[in-house]
A and B are shown apart, each in its own frame.
Chain A
Amino acid sequence: MSVILVLLGAGLVVALVFLGLFIWAVNSGQYDDPVTPGWRIILDDMKKKNSKDTGKHLSREDNDVP
């Protein structure tokens, strides 16, 4: 029956790892803003499409405004 204890220990360790990850995620601010990241994904696609369409990226020297 001691195998149950081993399994139990292993299960708890896995669960603790996930708990640790959750706490890390909260502390690193991932739960602070639940809205913007979702839109950012869509906007990223848009940015890529834009630069492909025009075929150019502005170099740093081009920027002088405003």
Chain B
Amino acid sequence: MPVTEGPQQNTQPAATPTVNGVPACHHCGLPCDTTDVEFEGKHFCCNGCKAVYELLTSRDLCAYYDLNETPGATIREDDEAATIKWGFLDHDDVKAKLLEFSDGGISKATFTVPHMHCASCIYILEELSRLHAGVVNSRVNFLRKQVTVTWRDADISLRGVVQLLSSIGYEPRIQLEAIDRKEHKSEARKLLIQLGIAGFAFGNIMLMSFPEYLTFGGRVEPFLANAFGYLNMLLALPVVFYSANGYLSRAWKGLRAKTVNLDVPISLGVLALFLRSSYEVIFNAGSGYFDSLAGLVFLLLVGRYIQERTYAALSFDRDYRSYFPLAVMRRDGHGDEQSIPVTEINVGDRIVVRKGELIPADSILIEGDGDIDYSFVTGESDPVRKESGDVIYAGGRQTSSRLEMEVIEEVSRSYLVRLWNQDAANTGPASRFNTLTEKISGWFTGAVLAIATIAALFWVPSGVGHAIYVFTAVLIVACPCALALATPFTLGTAMRILGGSRVYLKRASVVETLARITHVVFDKTGTLTETGGGVAGYQGEELNEVEQTWVRSLVYHSTHPISMKVNAFLHNRPAMKMDEVHEVEGKGLHGRIAGYEIKLGSAEWVGVDLDNTPDDAAEHVILKPRPFAAEEDPAHPVGDSASRTFFSADGEQIPSSLQNDAPGNLHSNNTATPRNQAWVSIDGQVKGVFTVQSRFRPGMDSLLNTLAKRIKLSLLSGDNDRERHHLAQLFPDGADLRFQQEPFAKRDRVRELQESGEHVLMVGDGLNDAGALDAADIGLVVSQDVTGFSPACDALMDQDALRNLDKYIEFSRASTKVIIAAFVISFAYNLTGLGFAVAGMLSPLVSAIIMPISSISVIVFTTLLTQFHAARIGVRR
């Protein structure tokens, strides 16, 4: 299976799969630690998952669970929320943008479904008609993660189809902006047809050239030779003018821009071959080199096809519009809420933003308490507190309660959009097109032309005709087919191998650039630290088992981000029924159980005298969370309470790819701010404090150490410098660590490094890195969901692949060496051929032998050697 993600790797092939000893949900594979719904002997993590299971079994679609274990997506929304959410799909202009076809009775649309990942997904998505009678037909394109649905308008609406998909866990990602998919499709098809025509001509021309080969220079019967010659010429016409069209036009464009790219010598060779061969056929001077011509073009196109196969399901050039939500809830004068497309928001509108949703436009907060997570926009890891009357900028994500606000700026003029547009306008000088092959092709073309001219001048005394003959022969032989093949085959292979380990490159040439990187710049939040991976730790007087149970019971029903972390931290304790629970917005929770009063919340509210609390504990930030071991109970504090030992729980091993867009997807937090702390008191006696703090991705220290041996490192963080101390330990000595960097400062720093001669690789994740990613030689985005939103970049990487970044760089260096080795081989062939050509002895037969041998040996050599290096370095997963 090309794409496997999620829990399958964790689950044991047993009757009831488990995750860390907890039964895994039969539908989605998450551990059933907070809720465990049993149904027909199967475990489910929530009622949503159970509902999908019931629905599918009632429709005889159980094969869904046979094809793959726990294939489903966690159902997160209740039905009501989903119904409101998709209301904007009833708008006519939204429909017009989404529908591919509609005749009033039958409609058709294609949806991108990010969750699609296995055979089960294909199965269920192609059986939609059995889930709803209105669906006529549904077809999956797995590589693009798309499903095309046809339905009867009388039975189901567009909104109905989307809700149907969401209800079984395949929520489509809807984008209204016209995507250039169609253009890409026709490009790929054109290349295939060019390839087909070249192959067709190659085969037939070879066939008709055989008599020539077999007579070894003797004459074929003149009448036949003539017929063969003209037929070959006819067959070669579409090869030159259709199949090789791309090379000719790119060479021409390059020359007009005063650069000599590799297409120039190729075009010279192709044209020389064609003109010389046509001359020979028309004037009866020989049989020409049409076979070499067609073979050359065919192999070149094969190389191109291999190199151009990019990742159809991924998008490397997103703009701000795909980051924003499509719809918002607008509240009209009567208090009715209605879902409208985001483009229809006007200044003065009242909008409603619920927990986990994005703020679509700059607004003033009217009602509710905002805990806005701007980590993706600014890199700041702590949610920002906003109270009524505050201005909230677009792009943040609300992490706590529901907000009502008044729009003060249209979407297209918000702070975030302006930031983006400025970046786009200030794109720096493009230094990245300066690749190795392009440098070589420049002097190569010069050398070939020089040799051809000298040889021709040398032969002028024996006749101008012979001189022209030698001149064209040199151009033909020197046509750098092996050279032109070495790069695409090596880079294409390298790109595929990297794709296999979840590193996706925008273009194959990124491999070459990666090999020359001298400086790696890291972002902190979301790049070095885990996205949404904050872990709670406890500090203070040890809580006994009963007290832990009480705290767990208290936080169990709260959806506040900190409560959820504390809940996860204490997941080994049962949640009991509280006698009384109150949540005080912005302060904390208090409740009663067994006659005790438990309070959890801000220091002030719980009644902590901060001055008497040793705050040096806040410095004890853990860099490497202790790995979770089954026999170790993470809920038990390590060390005695007197020493106030800090400990962490790492029991949550849910693959974060399952947590996409989870409500309260909050960013990493830190110790020193009270906003990430929750103090706990029992019956008025303060016990200690729970702290949520960021966690570094595993393997970062070894990665940074290995990288530092050959490459300079630096850090550009948008966050404050509370973690400077720990990052300084993580980074090797002398690394440049900068904090509180604005997006523009990041970009300018990258430019500064480039001006001082560095080749910069920027590793980032969020919008605050967009400028730096764009300016850097390579912008690499680390993402927990590569099909999800990410800023424009040159390469996308799954978050788990980041720890192997050093290997990928080493592999790209090895690949570049493969290309150089292939160049040497190809020059050897060229020199041999040149020997024949300069001596004026290049017969079609010699050409027909040298050309394929050199090309094919270069192809085999580069492909095998690249594979060998991948295995040696250990790039493959």
B223 at the interface (CB under 8 A from A): yes
Closest to B196 in A: A22
Given A26-B189, A39-B119, are A58 and B141 neighbors across the interface (CB < 8 Å)?
Answer: no
**Interface of chain B residues 113 through 170 with chain A (CB within 8 A):** 119, 122-123, 126-127, 130-133, 139-144, 163-164, 167
B674 at interface, CB cutoff 8 A:
no
Partner of A39, one of B122, B164, B208, B231: B122
Would you call B132 and A63 a contact (CB within 8 A)? Answer: yes
Point out the residue from A26, A50, A66 that lies within 8 Å of B60, measured CB to CB: A50
Stretch at the interface among B197-205, B366-374, B709-717, B853-861: B197-205
Interface residues of B in 213-231 (CB under 8 A from A): 221, 223-224, 227, 231
Closest to A23 in B: B193
Interface bracket on B: 35 or more
Whole-angstrom CA separation of A24 from B499 in the bound complex: 31
Is the beta-carbon distance between A31 and B189 smaller than 8 angstroms? Answer: yes
Judge whether A43 and B126 touch: CB under 8 Å: yes
Q: Check B119 against A33 for contact (C-beta < 8 Å).
A: no
- Inter-chain contact A19/B196, CB cutoff 8 Å: yes
- A63 smallest CB distance to B (angstroms): 4
Question: Could you tell me the distance between the alpha carbons of A5 and B224 in the complex, rounded to whole angstroms?
Answer: 8
Residue in chain A with minimal CB distance to B123:
A43
With A1-B223, A43-B123, A50-B63: A35-B131 Cβ-Cβ less than 8 Å: no
Give the CA-CA distance A43 to B66 in the complex, in Å. 11
Whether, in the assembled complex, B824 has its beta carbon less than 8 Å from a beta carbon of chain A, the answer is: no
- Residue of B62, B122, B140, B200 near A15 (CB, 8 A) is B200
Assess whether B188 is interfacial by the CB under 8 Å rule.
Answer: yes
Q: Which residues of B contact A64 (CB under 8 A)?
A: 133
Partner pick for B59 among A1, A36, A58, CB 8 A cutoff: A58
- From B62, B63, B203, name the one whose CB has the most chain A CB atoms within 10 angstroms: B63
**Known: A35-B2, A40-B122, A43-B119. Is A65-B131 also a contact (CB below 8 A)?**
yes
A65 to B224, CA, bound (A): 73
What residues of chain A lie closer than 8 Å to B130, measured between beta carbons?
Answer: 58, 63
Are B55 and A66 touching (Cβ within 8 A)? yes
Q: How far is the CA of A50 from the CA of B63 in the complex (A)?
A: 8
Q: State whether A51 touches B119 (Cβ < 8 A).
A: no
Choice from A36, A58, A60 contacting B122 with Cβ under 8 Å: A36
Contacting residues, chain B, for A5 (C-beta < 8 A): 224, 227
Q: Which of B2, B122, B208 has the most CB of A within 10 A?
A: B122
Residues of A within 8 A of B221 (CB): 1
Contact B142 A36, beta carbon cutoff 8 Å = yes
Distance between Cα atoms of A11 and B204 in the complex (Å): 9
Say if the beta carbon of B391 comes within 8 Å of chain A. no
Chain B hits for A40, CB < 8 A: 122, 126
**A63 and B140 alpha carbons, distance in the complex (Å):** 22
Closest to B167 in A: A66
How near does chain A come to B156, taking the closest CB pair, in angstroms?
10
Is residue A46 within 8 Å, beta carbon to beta carbon, of the partner chain? Answer: yes
Q: Does A12 count as interface, using CB distance less than 8 angstroms?
A: yes
Question: Are A46 and B123 touching (Cβ within 8 A)?
Answer: yes
A54 to B122, CA, bound (A): 22
In whole angstroms, how far apart are the Cα atoms of A43 and B133 in the complex? Answer: 21
Does B846 interact with chain A (Cβ within 8 Å)? no
Is B258 in the interface zone, CB < 8 Å from A?
Answer: no
A10 at the interface (CB under 8 A from B): no
A15 touches B203 (CB 8 A): yes
A13 to B204, CA, bound (A): 11
A34 to B227, CA, bound (A): 40
Q: At the interface, yes or no: B872 with Cβ under 8 Å from chain A?
A: no
| Separation of A5 and B132 alpha carbons in the complex (Å) | 61
- Shortest distance between the CB of B791 and any CB in chain A (Å): 28
Cβ–Cβ contact A23 & B167, under 8 A: no
Known contacts A39-B142, A54-B60: A15-B204 contact under CB 8 Å: yes
| A39-B66 Cα distance, complex, nearest whole Å | 14
Q: Could you show 16 A-B contacts with beta carbons less than 8 Å apart?
A: A4-B224, A15-B203, A18-B200, A19-B196, A23-B193, A26-B189, A32-B141, A33-B141, A33-B144, A34-B143, A36-B139, A40-B126, A43-B119, A50-B63, A61-B133, A66-B167
Interface residue ranges, B against A (CB under 8 Å): 2, 55, 59-63, 66-67, 119, 122-123, 126-127, 130-133, 139-144, 163-164, 167, 185, 188-189, 192-193, 196-197, 200, 203-204, 207-208, 221, 223-224, 227, 231
Known: A19-B196, A23-B193, A62-B133. 5 other contacts (CB 8 A): A22-B196, A26-B189, A35-B142, A63-B130, A66-B163
- A residues within 8 Å of B by Cβ? 1, 4-5, 8, 11-12, 15-16, 18-19, 22-23, 26-27, 31-36, 39-40, 42-43, 46-47, 50-51, 54, 56, 58, 60-66
